[in-house]
């Protein structure tokens, strides 16, 4: 029996995240397909996420950019919350990298350029994503980037407030690989969302071009140490301009690190052409 939520027929599962499933939803009147993120109310309560989910929705509502998944509406039932957004029909960046290993410089420029434009736009609105990783970067059928999952951006003061910031961050995003060094330190000085996103972008660009992460370890403590103090190793074949950009983004001192808005001006980043944010 197909489940119906409001005017949407809920179909196959498109993706599974930390706090919710994303399923296909077909509007029964228009036939248009959407992606519906389903969050159980009891999950929200159990994780004290009510304020965060509210913010995720209000953030999605206010963002309008060709490289950010477009919010449609929100529905509420007795047991769940349904966030209806535009369906993105291509692979996640995660899938693309899994299939190809790494990207050509041309493809990386195309994808990373759009990512930087989308993230810089968020920063102009005072919104920081804080969970930029390949699973949250969707690609449509023509490889246009659509950034999704503003669930973490809602989590103001996620770290450096509670007693055990690392553990909290780890459970919340499930991965440390994209996490900036200052977030992992136990300092109570806080951090700058713009610089945290810039670091994640640096990790993503390295991953796209090289096909592996710059800092890797199965062990959380060892990984933390690498992120905080190991120098990045670049393959000899890497384009010097790309390397320059990565090294500015993966600057361990957040005060010296460039912002994503500055990265947008970097010579390696293609200038946007056309209206759809495509850089090809
Ligand atoms: P979580 O906050 O639980 O990580 P996400 O918003 O990241 O949830 O969604 C989980 C997964 O669902 C994504 O990694 C992706 O595979 C899929 N997904 C999310 N939004 C869309 C969308 N608009 N179109 C198609 N698939 C999507
Ligand atoms: Mg996600």
Could you tell which of 8, 13, 22, 32 is best to mutate to test the pocket of ligand 1, judged by most ligand atoms within 8 Å of the CB?
Answer: 22
pLDDT in single tens digits along all 280 residues of the chain: 679 999 999 999 999 877 789 999 999 999 999 999 999 999 888 888 888 888 889 999 999 999 999 999 999 999 999 999 999 998 899 999 999 999 999 999 999 999 999 999 999 999 999 899 999 999 999 989 999 998 877 444 443 333 344 434 443 445 799 999 998 886 666 678 899 999 999 999 999 999 999 999 999 999 999 999 999 999 999 999 999 999 999 999 999 999 999 999 999 999 876 544 444 4
* Residue 253 known to be catalytic: no
Phi, psi of 243 (to 5 degrees): -65, -40
Nearest CA to ligand 1 atom 11: 15
Tell me the CA end-to-end span of the chain in Å, nearest whole number. Answer: 44
> Ligand 2 centroid to 65 CA: how many Å?
19
Q: How far apart are CA 81 and CA 39, in angstroms?
A: 5
Nearest CA to ligand 1 atom 8: 17
What are the Cα distances from residue 88, in Å, to 24, 34, 68, 71?
10, 8, 10, 12
Least distant ligand from the CA of 153: 1
Phi-psi region of 160 (alpha: psi -120 to 50; beta: other; left: phi over 0): left
Task: Name the token pair of 224.
Answer: 């933390």
Q: How far apart are CA 52 and CA 68, in angstroms?
A: 19
Q: How far apart are CA 231 and CA 236, in angstroms?
A: 15
Q: What is the b/e burial string over 191-200, where b = at least 16 CB atoms within 10 angstroms of the residue's CB?
A: bebbbbbbbb
Q: How far apart are CA 208 and CA 94, in angstroms?
A: 10
Tell me, using a 6 A CB cutoff, whether residue 84 lines ligand 1: no
Nearest CA to ligand 1 atom 19: 22
Q: How far apart are CA 84 and CA 36, in angstroms?
A: 5
Helix (H, G, I), strand (E, B) or coil at 46: helix
Q: How far apart are CA 268 and CA 213, in angstroms?
A: 20
Least distant ligand from the CA of 15: 1
pTM for the structure as a whole = 0.89
Tell me, using a 6 A CB cutoff, whether residue 69 lines ligand 1: yes
Tell me, using a 6 A CB cutoff, whether residue 19 lines ligand 1: yes
Nearest CA to ligand 1 atom 10: 17
> Ligand 2 centroid to 240 CA: how many Å?
32
Q: How far apart are CA 154 and CA 132, in angstroms?
A: 13
Give binding residues for ATP as ranges.
37
Q: How far apart are CA 171 and CA 43, in angstroms?
A: 14
Do strands 3-5 and 8-16 pair parallel, antiparallel, or not at all (unpaired)? antiparallel
Q: How far apart are CA 118 and CA 138, in angstroms?
A: 12
Which value does ipTM take for this structure?
A: 0.97
Helix (H, G, I), strand (E, B) or coil at 157: coil
Q: How far apart are CA 6 and CA 84, in angstroms?
A: 11
Task: Name the token pair of 256.
Answer: 């010296």
Least distant ligand from the CA of 95: 1
């Amino acid at each position: 029996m197909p489940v119906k939520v409001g005017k949407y027929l809920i179909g196959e599962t498109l993706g599974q995240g930390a706090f919710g499933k994303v399923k296909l939803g077909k509007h029964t009147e228009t036939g248009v397909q959407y992606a519906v993120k389903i969050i159980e109310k009891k999950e929200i309560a159990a994780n004290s996420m009510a304020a965060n989910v509210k913010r995720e929705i209000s953030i999605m509502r206010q963002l309008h950019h060709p490289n950010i998944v477009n919010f449609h509406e929100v529905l509420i039932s007795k047991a769940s919350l349904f966030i209806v957004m535009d369906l993105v029909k291509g692979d996640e960046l995660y899938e693309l990298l899994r299939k190809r290993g790494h990207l050509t410089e041309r493809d990386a420029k195309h994808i990373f350029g759009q990512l930087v434009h989308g993230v810089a736009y968020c920063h102009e609105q005072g919104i920081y994503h804080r969970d930029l990783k390949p699973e949250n970067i969707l690609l449509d059928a023509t490889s246009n980037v659509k950034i999704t999952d503003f669930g973490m951006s809602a989590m103001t003061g996620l770290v450096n407030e509670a007693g055990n910031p690392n553990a909290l961050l780890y459970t919340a995003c499930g991965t440390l690989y994209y996490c900036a060094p200052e977030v992992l330190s136990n300092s109570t000085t806080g951090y700058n969302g713009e610089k945290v996103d810039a670091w994640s972008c640096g990790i993503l660009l390295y991953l796209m071009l090289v096909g592996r992460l710059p800092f890797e370890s199965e062990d959380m403590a060892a990984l933390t140490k690498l992120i905080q103090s190991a120098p990045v190793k670049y393959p000899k074949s890497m384009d010097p301009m790309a390397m320059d950009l990565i090294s500015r983004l993966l600057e361990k001192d957040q005060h010296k690190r460039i912002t994503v808005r500055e990265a947008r001006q970097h010579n390696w980043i293609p200038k946007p052409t056309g209206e759809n944010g495509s850089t090809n």
